[in-house]
Amino acid sequence: MKKILYILLLLISVNTIGQPVLQRATSGNTVKDERWMAGLNAFMPRFSDTSAASLAKGIDSSAALVYIYSTSSFWFRQHSPKRWVQISGSDSLLTGGTITSIPTVGYAAPSNANAARWIQSVFYQSQAPTASLSGGGSYELHSAGTFPLTLNWSAGRQSATQPLATIVVAGVSQTFTQPSAGSSVSGTQGVTVTYNSNVTYTNTVTTTDSKSASATTSVSFFPKRYWGISSLSAPDNTIVLASSGGSNELTTTKVKGSFVITVSGTNQYVYYAYPSSYGTLSSIIISGLESIGAFTLTTLSVTNALGYVQDYYVYTSNNQFNNTTISFNSVN
């Protein structure tokens, strides 16, 4: 009898001291605490997979946290769009505060990227492609017409550049063989240039992840300026184009630095000629001395070697020279 009473008392004490689990929230009601803190250990709902978690997510599952046994990871319920997003575990870059893997350089982040993917896309971005274009240049003004020109292009990938998607040169899509990372491809594109019309051509290279690079080359047209010797006090078209004892060059201005005119023979004038649209000179420095007063200005209609006609200002020396060199410091 004493043994029976002892067993009954033991059962009563265990039932009294034990800590039963109390179901405070059910499918019909939700318990809300203004502040929630666990004294020792906190446990969140645990499921075999996210499908099982979805069956018990409730009406408004936004911000729900669960633990998934199958992946040994924590998951977060995203609001829009509604879906489970893994926030730790084997798919995470960070484990215990330590970086456990180095992302692949050139990784392109997908939409709705998680934290790990975001870090990859921000700190290990793919690189832009490279582009070059040549073949342009400067030409003398021409009477009219067109001429063919060949442009030379190249497109390349840096070490972390995604594959090239398009190469467009002068508005024409190019066919090409995909270069490997760190390599490039090249080719040519023919264009037709209209004389006297300045134009800029572009090579635009785009990758499969929408990064791009571009390069340009230009074709420009200019008049020439001339300097040399003349047997006439007012040089004519033939004498100006000949530039005997001097030279000529394409120009965009009347201003020129140092140059020389070599007088061969006797009784020769020296001249400097340029398009009248650039205005008159204010200075001619020879051997360090202001000498504009020693020159006479005339206007001459010049037809260049390509048939283009325009008015020129021609400054011709008042004096003749014999077998000498005239050193100009500048004209302005």
pLDDT band for position 120 (cuts 50, 70, 90): low
pLDDT of residue 8: 60
* pTM, two decimal places: 0.65
For residue 268, count CB atoms less than 10 angstroms from its CB and return exposed for 0-12, middle for 13-18, buried for 19 or more: buried
Hey, what domains does the chain have and what are their CATH numbers?
44-54+62-95+111-124 (no CATH), 130-221 (2.60.40), 223-331 (no CATH)
Q: Residue 200 in contact with residue 217, Cβ under 8 Å?
A: yes
pLDDT in tens, 182-199: 999 999 999 999 999 999
Residue 297 contacts by C-beta under 8 Å, 6 or more apart in sequence?
A: 280, 281, 313, 314, 315
Contact partners, residue 100, CB within 8 Å, separation at least 6: 93, 94
Look at residue 85 in the predicted model and tell me its pLDDT. Answer: 82
| DSSP one-letter string for 252-283 | S-S-B--EEEEE-SSSBEEEEEEEGGG---S-
In this model, does residue 81 exceed pLDDT 90? no
Distances (CA, A) of 268 to 41, 237, 247, 317, 322: 108, 17, 16, 9, 7
Buried b (16+ CB within 10 A) or exposed e, 187-210: eebebebebbeeeebbbbbbbebe
